[in-house]
Structure 1
Amino acid sequence: MRKVNIVFLVGLCVGALAALVVVVATPQRHVVTALGPAPVAAAGTDRSTAEVRDSPAATTSGTTTGSAAAGTAKTKPAGAGKDNTAQALASLVPDGHVSVVVYDRQDKTTVLSVDADRTYTSASLVKLMIAFQALDNGADPARVTEMLERSDDNTASDLWVTYGWGSIVDNAVRRMGLTGTHPPASPGHWGDTQITADDITKIYRYLVEEAPERDRTIILAALHHPTVHGADGIRQFFGIPDAVGPGNFAVKQGWSCCEPDHSIMLHTSGLVYDDRFIVTVLTQQPAAADYTKASAQLTAVVKNLVPLLKK
C-alpha cells in the first residue's frame, strides 16, 4: 500500500507541473474577445491632456486639461483646438479612457497627442515587440507573419517562450527608447505588458526608420495584409481599418477582456495613407460596453481623426 501511495503522489506532482507549464505558456481566453491573457488593472493617470501642432490639415492653438471620461462633452471636429479635441475624443468613450497620438512622418511632426503617457495593458500590441525579437533570433518569417496577420495567440505564446519571455519587452525598451513600457508582472501573460500611446508610436517609428531592412519588409507586409477576422474569430477591422477604408492602412490591433478589473482593452495602431501617418489609439472600456459597442466607439474616435490625416 505504501508503494502504491508513493507512485500515486509522484503522478500527481508530475501532472501538476505539466498543468503549470500549460497555464504559463498559453494565454488565458475570455468570452468577450477570446484573446490573450487576462489584463491587469491599468496604471497611470486619469488626465486627458491634448497637444495639437501644425499639420497639413489644420493649425490649432490653445492649452487645456480635460477629463478622460468626459461623457457630457459635445463631439466636435478633432482639429478644433486642444480643448475641443481632448473633450471630443473623450466624449466618444464616455465610460472609459482614450489615448491618442498622430505622427506625420513626412513633416516629422506630432499632429496630435492626447493623454499619450497613460498606461494600458497591451493585449496583442506586444506582438510587435515579439516580432522584432523573433526575427532577430532566426525565427521562421512565416510564423511571425501568421502571428501578426491573424493575431494568432498560440504562435505568439510559442515565440514569447522561445525568444525570452519578458526580456523581449526589456530589449524593445532599450532598443527603441520606450519610457512607459514594462514587461507583464506574470511572465506568462504576455498581453499584460504595460504600454503607452507614445511608446507604441515610437515602435512604429523604429519600424519604418531604423529597423533592419529584412525585419521591416516582413513586418510591414504582414501589417498591410491583416485578415478580417483574427485567429480567435474576432473581427479585427475596428478602428483604423473601418475609419480609413481598404488599401489605406497597415495595422496591428489589440483586444482583451475582462478580469481582474472588468475592462475591455481595445486598441488600434498603425500606418495610414501611404504609410505617411502613424496613428495610435488606445482605449480601456467597461466590460458592460461589450465588444460591439466598444469597437464602434473606437472606430468613431479614429473617424474623428481623419480630417487631420488628409493631405
Structure 2
Amino acid sequence: MTSRRVRHHVLSALALLVVATATAGTVYVQGQAHAGARSPASARPSVTAPPGGEASVEPSVEPVAQPTAVDRQALLADALTGVDVPEGVRLSVAVLDVASGESAGYGEAAFDTASIVKVDVLVSLLLRAQDEGRRLTSAERQYATAMIENSDNDSASALWRTIGQAEGLDAANKRLGLVATEGGDGMLWGLTRTTAADQLTLLTRVFGEDSALSAASQAYVQELMERIAEGQQWGVSAAADGSAWALKNGWLPRSTTGLWDVNSIGRVSADGSVYLVAVLSDGNATQAAGIDLVEAAAKAAVGVFAEAA
C-alpha cells in the first residue's frame, strides 16, 4: 500500500471518530446551552462525562432567601410588658387571627371561669339537643337568652342541671377538644377551672368551621353573644372597631380575699380582620381594675397581629 493510500485511510478513520464523539455527547450539551440566554460565569452549567456515559449538565443554583417567620408568641409577650399588671395579679391571654390561622398565647395557668363558663354550658346543651335530634325547648331558649345576654345566674343553674352539671360539661368538652377545663363541683359552675388556650379552642368551635356544633347551633350562640346587655359590653370588645364584636364576660369577687376574678372571651373585628380573643385574670383589687386590665390586654393581643400584618 502506498503512503498516499495509508494517509487517506487514517484521515477517514479520524473523521468517523469525531462524528461518533459528537453524536455521543457534544450535541446534548449544545442543546442545553441553546435553551436560554448566555449565563454569567457564576451560573454556567458544569459538564461532566463519566467514562462510557453521556455528558450531563449540573447547573449552579444560588440559594433563595426565605421570608423570616414572625414570632407572634414573642411579640405578644413583649406587647404585654406595656400593660400594667399589679403585683399579685395573674393574667393569661390567647388570640387567633381567623384569616391566617396564626395564634399566640401568654400564660398557661388555670383560672376560675366565673360567668364565661355560660358559653360552654350553652354549647353543651346544644350538643345534647343535637344528639337527641331535637330543638331547644321554649324554656331552654328563655334560659339561654337570659344566661348569655344578661348573665343571669338562675338561668345558668337551670341549664347546668339540664346538661348533667360538671359531668355533662366535661363530656361535651372532651368532644370539643378542651383539654384543661374541669367543671365545678355540684352547683358551683362558676368555679369551673379553665385556661386561656382552652377558651380559645371553645371560641373556634363557636365561630369556626371545624366544630361538632351544627351551623344552626353556631349561629344561635353567636347571635346571643352579639346581644350582650349594655352594662356588660366591656372586655375584649375594647379591641374591636365599633360594635363589631361578640363576647361573654365573667366577674367574681372571692369571699376569702375580697379580690376579683375578671375574664372576657369573644370575637372582635379590627382593621378589616377578625380575631378570637380570651383574657383571664384573678387577684384584681376591684372589678373596675380587672376590667381595665382585661381590656388593655385584649388591645395588646390584637395589636400584635394588626401592627405586624
**TM-score of the superposition, structure 1-length normalised?**
0.66
**CA–CA distance in 2 between the matches of 1:83 and 1:281?**
14
1:162 corresponds to 2:173: no
Equivalent residue, structure 1, for 2:193: 194
Q: Which residue of the other structure, out of 51, 59, 84, is the alignment partner of 2:70?
A: 59
Contact 2:248–2:265 under 8 Å retained in 1:
yes
Residue type at the aligned position of 2:292: A
Deviations 1:55-77 (A, max 9, x none): xxx934786xxxxxxxxxxxxxx
When the two chains are superposed, the root-mean-square deviation of aligned CA atoms in Å is 2.6
Q: Which runs of 4+ in 1 moved over 6 A?
A: none
Equivalent residue, structure 2, for 1:303: 299
- TM-superposed CA distance for 1:213, in Å, is 1.4
1:259 corresponds to 2:252: no
The 1:190–1:82 alpha-carbon spacing in structure 2 relative to 1, beyond 3 Å, is: closer
**CA–CA distance in 2 between the matches of 1:279 and 1:178?**
16
Alignment map for 1:2-41 (pairs within 5 Å): none
- TM-superposed CA distance for 1:144, in Å, is 1.2
Residue type at the aligned position of 2:277: V
Percentage of identical aligned residues? 22
**CA–CA distance in 1 between the matches of 2:295 and 2:190?**
22
- TM-superposed CA distance for 1:174, in Å, is 1.1
Alignment map for 1:110-149 (pairs within 5 Å): 110=103, 112-115=104-107, 117-135=108-126, 136-137=128-129, 138-139=136-137, 140-149=140-149
Equivalent residue, structure 1, for 2:78: 84
**CA–CA distance in 2 between the matches of 1:257 and 1:59?**
39
Contact 2:149–2:228 under 8 Å retained in 1:
yes
Gaps of 5+ in 1: 1-53, 64-80, 230-235
Contact 1:250–1:270 under 8 Å retained in 2:
yes
Number of residue equivalences:
227
Worse-superposed segment, 211-220 or 261-270: 261-270
- TM-superposed CA distance for 1:162, in Å, is 2.4
Residue type at the aligned position of 2:199: I
Where 2:230 maps in the other structure, the secondary structure is coil
- Higher relative helix content: 2
**CA–CA distance in 1 between the matches of 2:90 and 2:80?**
11
**CA–CA distance in 1 between the matches of 2:142 and 2:201?**
25
**CA–CA distance in 2 between the matches of 1:178 and 1:263?**
27
Contact 2:165–2:187 under 8 Å retained in 1:
yes
- By relative contact order (CA 8 Å, sep 6+), the higher-ranking structure is 1
Contact 2:73–2:105 under 8 Å retained in 1:
no
- TM-superposed CA distance for 1:214, in Å, is 1.8
The 1:275–1:167 alpha-carbon spacing in structure 2 relative to 1, beyond 3 Å, is: farther
**CA–CA distance in 1 between the matches of 2:114 and 2:274?**
25
**CA–CA distance in 2 between the matches of 1:246 and 1:113?**
25
Equivalent residue, structure 2, for 1:221: 223
Where 1:151 maps in the other structure, the secondary structure is coil
Contact 1:271–1:278 under 8 Å retained in 2:
yes
Deviations 1:191-241 (A, max 9, x none): 000100000001111112212112111100011111113xxxxxx222222
The 1:223–1:120 alpha-carbon spacing in structure 2 relative to 1, beyond 3 Å, is: same
